[in-house]
């Protein structure tokens, strides 16, 4: 099940807003009553708060976003420190390109 956070990011982007709105103008809350997260505060200029039906319709796209975020995190970890990468490029760019290609091939995005 996709997170409310990811559903909201997709909703914002589909309505010409950025995910920065989530941190600035939207507050999520969880009352620990078994009902999960919900939108507590919505102050996005020019965009109405989404209905549950609108958010539920974004489930598949939000799941893809979640999967791709996991792939990005895995890739980032495997790429290693940027300074080390630059040193590797300087010493042998072909070896670096082959290593990065393998990481990408082994960790494809959806």
For the chain, the structural domain boundaries read 4-106
Q: For the chain of 110 residues, list the mean pLDDT of each consecutive stretch of 10.
A: 93 96 95 94 97 96 94 96 95 96 95
CA dist list (Å): 61 to 14, 65, 90: 11, 6, 39
Entry pTM: 0.75
Query: 88-105, pLDDT tens digit by residue?
Result: 999 999 999 999 999 999
In contact, 21 and 46? CB cutoff 8 Å: no
In contact, 65 and 7? CB cutoff 8 Å: no
């Amino acid at each position: 099940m996709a997170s409310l956070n990811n559903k909201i990011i997709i909703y914002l982007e589909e309505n010409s807003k950025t995910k920065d709105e989530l941190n600035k103008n939207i507050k999520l809350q969880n009352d620990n009553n078994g009902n999960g997260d919900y939108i507590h505060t919505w102050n996005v200029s020019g965009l109405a708060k989404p209905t549950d039906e609108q958010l539920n319709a974004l489930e598949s796209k939000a799941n893809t976003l979640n999967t791709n975020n996991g792939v990005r995190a895995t890739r980032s970890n495997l790429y290693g420190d940027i300074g080390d990468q630059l040193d590797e490029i300087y010493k042998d760019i072909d070896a670096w390109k082959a290593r990065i290609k393998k990481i990408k091939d082994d960790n494809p995005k959806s």
